[in-house]
Amino acid sequence: MAAAKVLRTRAFGTAVLDQDPFDDQCQHVLVEDSDANNALVCCFRLLVLEGGADIGRSYSAQFYDLSAMQGFTGKMAEMGRFCIDPDMKDPDILRVAWGSMTTYVDQNEIEMLFGCSSFEGTETSAYLDAFAMLKHRHLAPNRWVPRVKAPDVFRYAARLRRKPDSKKAMLRMPPLLRTYLMMGGWVSDHAVIDRHLNTLHVFTGLEIAAIPPARKRLLRALA
């Protein structure tokens, strides 16, 4: 836990050690580099909920009105504080992390994975094509749509009228969010401006049953 908190602090660039009360409620997954004395290169945490009735216990519920998701009946897992060592550029780190996530989801019979996917910084202008693509292709289904709760948000679905440049959008899309979307994930219609962590984040959901079979086979091969 000490190493995970240090890595999170470096990755998020916070002035003080990154920790909160949710750390004690979650299970933590660490990805280490066996060729570098098991140095920690990636970490994330998981909070398991028995169903949507418990959604108010989640970290995300501090920032989003998730009352629409209270009717979800299957087990859920919130993935949070996902980060990769900023000095590491190896794409296999993300693949290993998702392989571990796949094993966890299968073993615990999780039916929905969710969390906050973050863009670096709080300036929206750098991500307009990415947000436009989210609006046009990846908004949450009406039955689960998260509503505004945080005081400082960017309502990109309501404000943006531009057609996204797909190349620019994907270049600016965070790797974690890009992976969610490739599996059929969806997002909130607004981004929360989180000045504490210096990020813009969107609520992200993924129903496990909706993942394309070919993608499931790939993930299980990684696991």
Q: Which tokens hold the place of 215?
A: 């993608």
DSSP 199: E
Neighbours of 71 (CB within 10 A): 12
pTM: predicted TM-score of the whole model, two decimal places: 0.94
- CATH classification code of 2-222: 3.40.630.30
Query: Which sequence spans correspond to the domains of the chain?
Result: 2-222
Residue 93's identity, in one-letter code, is I
Number of residues written out for the chain: 223
Residue with tokens 């049953």: 209
What are 145-187's pLDDT values in tens digits?
999 999 999 999 999 998 999 999 999 999 999 999 999 999 9
User: What does the pLDDT look like over 86-141, one tens digit per residue?
Assistant: 999 898 999 999 999 999 999 999 999 999 999 999 999 999 999 999 999 999 99
Give the per-residue pLDDT at 143.
Answer: 95
Q: CB atoms < 10 A from the CB of 7, how many? A: 22
Number of helices (H) and strands (E) in the chain: give both, helices first.
7, 10
Cα–Cα dist 80/57, whole Å: 13
- State residue 222's pLDDT score: 78
The SS3 call for residue 200 is: strand
Give me the pLDDT at residue 168, please. Answer: 95
